[in-house]
Structures are given as structure tokens and as C-alpha cells.
Amino acid sequence: MKIKIVCVGDVKEKFFSQAVDEYVKRLGRFCKAEVCETKEYAFKKEPSKGEIEKALAYEGADVISKLEGYCVCLDIKGQNLDSVELSKKIESVKNQFSTLTFVIGGSYGLSEEVKSKCHFSLSFGKMTFPHQLMRVILCEQIYRAFMISGGSTYHK
């Protein structure tokens, strides 16, 4: 199985990228994992609602070009799953698709077009997280899901 994580923008803090790299390395025993970054729209000043929609469309076109297999977008309005439920979700997807793609939006989220192209919307709760930190959280939860499926004591 291939796990692909498509992210809008790049990671600026070294400690976040090191954490993501560590979990991608750990995932290597279960699947091929990769992180794909797309360009984040750069605003010159505080954007209007129209400018944000334009930016989401711009970012979304690049994200859509990277989607493959079963696609899951991270969205605050998505479905909340606990770690065991996420593990079961990944197991069921693994039986039908060779690639599972997760999508993390930029500062303003994801366009409706991107969301409509995804099979599932996943929420990590009502809190807002920086999209760079969300990469670490998502990678850890994917790793935890595989450990749960394998019967490891990692998940307590």
C-alpha cells in the first residue's frame, strides 16, 4: 500500500519536518509513504473573502493534480474518528485501493472542489491547528493505525 500526504505549503520549522520524517521512516515497514507539498498562495496584505476564494481555487488545482486512489481530506466539518476507528478505516481502504491519499489544506483550508473530489472528510476535532503541526499529528495517527492493526502495544 502507498500512503500519500498532500500538503499545501511547506514546513518552515525544522522540528516539524524532523518529526514528519521520523514517522514517514517508521511507516516504511508497513507501506510506502510520501509527503507531497504544493504551493501556498502568497497574499500581499490581509485578504478579502474573494481573494481567499481565488487562493483556494489556485491551491486546489495543484492539490487535485496530486490526488490518487482513495482520498481523505482533513476538514474541521469532517467525521471524527478515534485511533481504532481510523485503523479500521485504513484497513478497509487497503482492501480496495493501492493508494490512500490524505490532503491537508493551507491557512484557509481547502476549496469545495478539492473536498468534493475526496471520498471521505476526516476531522481531528473542533480545534484549529497550524497546518505544519497537523502533518505531524496526521503522520503519527497513521503510524498508530498501522500499529493497532498489527496488534502492537504502541497504542494503549
90-123 pLDDT, tens digit per residue, is 999 999 999 999 999 998 999 999 999 999 999 9
**What DSSP string runs through 66-110?**
H--SEEEEEEEEEEE--HHHHHHHHHHHHTT-SEEEEEE-BTTB-
Question: Is 156 part of any domain?
Answer: no
Q: What is the mean pLDDT of the chain?
A: 95
Model confidence pLDDT, tens digit, residues 7-41: 999 998 999 999 999 999 999 999 999 999 999 99
Q: Are 38 and 69 in contact (CB under 8 A)?
A: no
Examine the pLDDT at 74 and tell me if it is beyond 90. Answer: yes
Question: Is 154 part of any domain?
Answer: no
Average pLDDT over residues 50-66: 96
Instruction: Provide the residue range defining the domain that includes 127.
Output: 2-149
Domain CATH number, residue 145: 3.40.1280.10
Would you tell me the crossing angle of helices 83-94 and 131-149 to the nearest 10 degrees?
70
- Count of beta carbons in the 10 Å neighbourhood of residue 61: 13
C-alpha cell at 56: 483556494
The domain total for the chain is 1
Query: Cell 498489527 maps to which residue?
Result: 150
Question: Is 66 part of any domain?
Answer: yes
Question: Is 30 part of any domain?
Answer: yes
The pTM of this model reads 0.95
Question: Is 129 part of any domain?
Answer: yes
Question: Is 155 part of any domain?
Answer: no
